[in-house]
Chain A
Amino acid sequence: MIERPEAGGGVPHPRSLEGYVGFANLPNQVYRKSVKRGFEFTLMVVGESGLGKSTLINSLFLSDLYSKEYPGPSLRIKKTVQVEQVKVLVKEGGVQLTLTIVDTPGFGDAVDNSNCWQPVINYIDSKFEDFLNSESRVNRRQMADTRVHCCLYFIAPSGHGLDYVMKEIKEQNIKIYEFPVTEDDEDNKLIKKFKDHVPLAVVGSTLVFEVNGRKVRGRQYPWGVAEVENGEHCDFSLLRNMLIRTHMQDLKDITNNVHYENYRSRKLAAVTGNGIDASKTKGPLTRSPLAEMEDERREHVAKMKKMETEMEQVFEMKVKEKKQKLKDSENELQRRHEQMKKNLEAQYKELEEKRKQFEEEKAAWEMEQRVLEQQRLDSSKTMEKNKKKGKIF
């Protein structure tokens, strides 16, 4: 069944007041303002022609909503299913109600009725869309609520019996309107009675007859008059009481808080954040699309920072590598240079040694030669002397 939105949690014990304050008057203030504002309600009736939809509406609202001038849906059958509306303003006891009745001439009347509900669905969604757009504007004005608050679905009285219908509804998991459970026992009794009678068997009529001295509205048969407002004859009163007198506001609230909100979240989830890839849902959708974007931005900033750090690291590492290579190169070249220098120095030294040796050798030999030369000179002198002396030859 439709889940009701949770009411605000359990209330802790309120403080007791030591005297008159006056906010007990708040409900009256709300009452006053609501009367001034006026009310609006949109009721949709769906069903094949000839089921008595127009008569029922006229009976519910005790008026000629549908009349010769404004014929009911069954008299306006088009080639295809249409969705049309009638707007009326009714007043009662100082309360103004703008009532919109939406009907669907042609529904279920064709031979092939597959998808005859599509125009109906489209209409309901388009009203949700209108509301969403007005609600989302930057400049918002007083928004009219044209959303469909209740749909009366007319089931043709076939031979199957109502139990069969209820079984089908349960089995197909069709969510019909659930009445809220209240603290009031009387209310709950009525609700139970209603629930027991769903689907309601109704009779509508605007003709008045006299039965047992009372004027009643009903349908006259040879065997008696079926009274519209007699609970033993049909469930009309139940329907009217629940729909109009006790739960009209609740129907509006459920439309606003449940059905509309579902539509809205579906629509927004499809378009924003998840627009590119509709199958990917981002979290529990409890945030606004802008907050989602903020999140994305933050994620991106973090991602960029990470990317930056990584790039930086890689960069530094490469630079380090290159610098190291350069250094190694430098060291190698330096080493070689040192080597060559040493080599050269060694050779220089060798050469020095060689030269030294040579000089020494040369000096020694030259000295020897000088000695020999001297000896020779001396000997030559002696020879001369001896020659002179005649010692030699």
Chain B
Amino acid sequence: MASADIVRQMGENVRPLSLSGHVGFDSLPDQLVNKSTSQGFCFNILCVGETGIGKSTLMDTLFNTNFENTQSTHYESRVKLKAQTYELQESTARLKLTIVNSVGFGDQINKEDSYKPIIDYIDAQFEAYLQEELKIKRSLHNYHDSRIHVCLYFISPTGHSLKSLDLVTMKKLDSKVNIIPVIAKADTVAKNELHKFKIKIMGELVSNGVQIYQFPIDDETVAKINSTMNGHLPFAVIGSTEEVKVGNKMVKARQYPWGVVQVENENHSDFVKLREMLVCVNMEDLREQTHTRHYELYRRCKLEEMGFKDTDPNNKPVSLQETYEAKRNEFLGELQRKEEEMRQMFVMRVKEKESQLKEAERELQDKFENLKKMHQEERKKLDEKKSVLDEEMSVFNKRKAATELLQGQAFQTAPQMNLKKDKDRKNY
């Protein structure tokens, strides 16, 4: 930011002041640098490219270390990401380097969703940072920043054009991360083809609206070199950890029957350019862009998603506290509503069941009322029959009594004749 920016930003009433001697605040950048150096630096690289395209080898070459990566198979069913962190030191600078490699990229038959795990990984790192930033008690200065600072996208050295997988993936990534496309295994592309290839690639990127990382030209100290380098994109790189004797030196190279491809020979590849740009000149800018552009975009989208706004419906500014309180009230209201709903549901069920049971009770009562009625009818019938019988019995008894009376009288009037009969009768 130029001083004009500072003055404008500070607003009114900033007056320039001249100093009559050496005050000493020109040591401020050194003070800042000393602090950063003692804390150590942190850098995270994401390498995206097909299996076997040379991602690990390039990293080994770039950082002059054997990161001990095992070769991947081509049989991964889906794209995965593998991250490893290393502590490196060069002179006074300590670097915590994290290299994230895509595994299985381009190996599936259906590559429609290949970019998704990559996006998810990048977002997850942003999310972790955001969560830390939102905590009530946080420690940002201590936080191990895992956000991806640069994505090296490895383009297959077909010599023709980008694959649709490349375009789709880079288009999805360009709003999330700084992309530096590189042509991998550049030693397989002939010199005359390479230039055309680069132009084709850049043309396709532009026509598809893919925004790759541009080396910054706003700082006069590095504007010139950055501007030149921007014209050499994408860098055609080769990697090698093998050493071959060239002249009287051992250099990193790849040996072919027709010659030795030297990694650090600028005529042979853009490796040195890549190292210069990525590591020596713009590493800090890549980190800054990640933080001020890509992360801010993620954060803004996430907060808006969660319902945070800077102004309320009347366009008055809303403070963070007010937003939190509003959210909290909304949230509590929702919880209460859910509770109420559940209670209501239960009340209804109880009512329903009660009426069901009442119904059953009533049916039962009816049933037994009917039975009782039937019973009473039976009883009536029985009683009728009883009285009929009683009536018959009474009639018979009367008859019998009357007959016996008559017979008694008859016996009295004819005693002799009937004496024998009497005896008989008595014997009877």
Q: What is the interface of chain A, defined by CB distance below 8 A to chain B?
A: 5-8, 11-27, 29-41, 60-65, 87-99, 132-133, 136-140, 142, 144, 182, 240-241, 244-250, 253, 256-257, 261, 264-265, 267-269, 271-273, 275, 284-291, 293, 296-297, 300, 304, 307-308, 311, 315, 319, 322-323, 326, 329-330, 333, 337, 340-341, 344, 347-348, 351, 354-355, 358, 362, 365, 369, 372, 375, 379, 383, 392
Q: Is there contact, CB below 8 Å, between A87 and B357?
A: no
| Cross-interface CB contact of B87 among A12, A26, A246, cutoff 8 Å | A12
Interface bits B392-425 vs A (CB < 8 Å: 1, else 0): 1100100010010001000000000110010000
Knowing that A132-B320, A315-B349 are A-B contacts, what are 5 other residue pairs whose CB atoms are under 8 Å apart, sorted by A's residue number? A14-B87, A15-B87, A32-B219, A337-B375, A355-B389
Q: Is there contact, CB below 8 Å, between B335 and A94?
A: no
Question: Assuming A139-B300, A355-B389, is B65 touching A17 (CB within 8 A)?
Answer: yes
Binds A, one of B173-181, B254-262, B276-284: B276-284
**Most B C-beta atoms less than 10 A away, residue of A36, A60, A250, A275:** A36
| Cross-interface CB contact of B88 among A21, A264, A296, A372, cutoff 8 Å | A21
Q: Is there contact, CB below 8 Å, between A15 and B88?
A: yes
Which residue of A is nearest B241, CB measured?
Answer: A18
Q: Is there contact, CB below 8 Å, between B219 and A36?
A: yes
B20 at the interface (CB under 8 A from A): yes
**Most B C-beta atoms less than 10 A away, residue of A136, A139, A286, A351:** A136
What A residues does B144 contact at CB under 8 A? 8
* Nearest chain A CB to B86 CB, angstrom units: 6
Q: Is there contact, CB below 8 Å, between A5 and B131?
A: no
Q: Is there contact, CB below 8 Å, between B141 and A248?
A: no
Q: Is there contact, CB below 8 Å, between A265 and B137?
A: yes
Chief secondary structure at chain A's binding surface? helix
| Cross-interface CB contact of B353 among A265, A268, A300, A319, cutoff 8 Å | A319
Question: Assuming A87-B14, A341-B375, A375-B421, is B396 touching A289 (CB within 8 A)?
Answer: no
Chief secondary structure at chain B's binding surface? helix
Q: Is there contact, CB below 8 Å, between A95 and B25?
A: yes
Question: Assuming A30-B36, A38-B1, is B135 touching A288 (CB within 8 A)?
Answer: yes
B266 at the interface (CB under 8 A from A): no
* Nearest chain B CB to A207 CB, angstrom units: 12
| Cross-interface CB contact of A29 among B3, B139, B283, cutoff 8 Å | B283
| Cross-interface CB contact of A275 among B21, B28, B282, B328, cutoff 8 Å | B328
What B residues does A32 contact at CB under 8 A? 219, 221-222, 284
Question: Assuming A15-B88, A96-B6, A348-B382, is B36 touching A138 (CB within 8 A)?
Answer: no
Q: Is there contact, CB below 8 Å, between B310 and A249?
A: no
Q: Which of B121-136 contact A (CB under 8 A)?
A: 131, 133-136
- Name the 5 nearest CB pairs between A and B, nearest first: A288-B134, A93-B26, A136-B320, A249-B31, A29-B284
* Nearest chain A CB to B6 CB, angstrom units: 5
Binds A, one of B90-98, B102-110, B226-234: B90-98
21 A-B pairs whose Cβ atoms sit less than 8 Å apart in the complex: A14-B87, A14-B95, A18-B64, A22-B280, A23-B95, A25-B280, A29-B283, A31-B33, A32-B221, A33-B285, A34-B29, A36-B218, A41-B25, A61-B17, A90-B23, A93-B26, A136-B319, A139-B310, A256-B141, A257-B141, A290-B306
- A383 to B417 alpha-carbon distance, docked (Å): 9
B16 at the interface (CB under 8 A from A): yes
